[in-house]
Amino acid sequence: MMKHSAGVLAYKIENNQLKVLLCHMGGPYWQNVDIGAWSIPKGEFQKEKAITTATREFQEETGFNIDQKDLKFLGSKKQPSNKLVTIFSTNHDFDVSKAKSNTFIKEWPKDNYI
């Protein structure tokens, strides 16, 4: 079964330059990685609508709320990993200095009990 993800590409035009809001992937694997570690805020879903996942993941990964009516369907793309990613876009001027991601506890390395 193919996995599905959905996310939001937030952008703005500032001083005639296009700027996009990307997130750095978290967790121990990505902590010292910069190249290839940036992506739109997105997450996997199964039974809910893609736009519902996109708005929830955007809020979880940035701390910013976004209304579904502000989103436009940008497209879907099958990744080399065989995952289908659906992307919505919005032109929005978020204050990135106020961005705040959710947190979670992860056992690392796996099965390494203290």
- pLDDT tens across 31-86, in order? 676 666 678 889 999 899 999 999 999 999 899 999 999 999 999 999 888 999 99
- What is the second-level CATH architecture of the domain 4-94? Alpha-Beta Complex (3.90)
pLDDT at 79: 87
Burial class (CB within 10 angstroms; exposed 0-12, middle 13-18, buried 19+) of 26: middle
pLDDT at 111: 67
For residue 5, is pLDDT > 90?
Answer: yes
End-to-end alpha carbon distance in the chain: 36
**DSSP assignment letter at 103:** -
Instruction: Name the residue ranges covered by the structural domains of the chain.
Output: 4-94
- Rounded distance, CA 30 to CA 113, Å? 21
Q: Is the pTM of this model over 0.85?
A: no
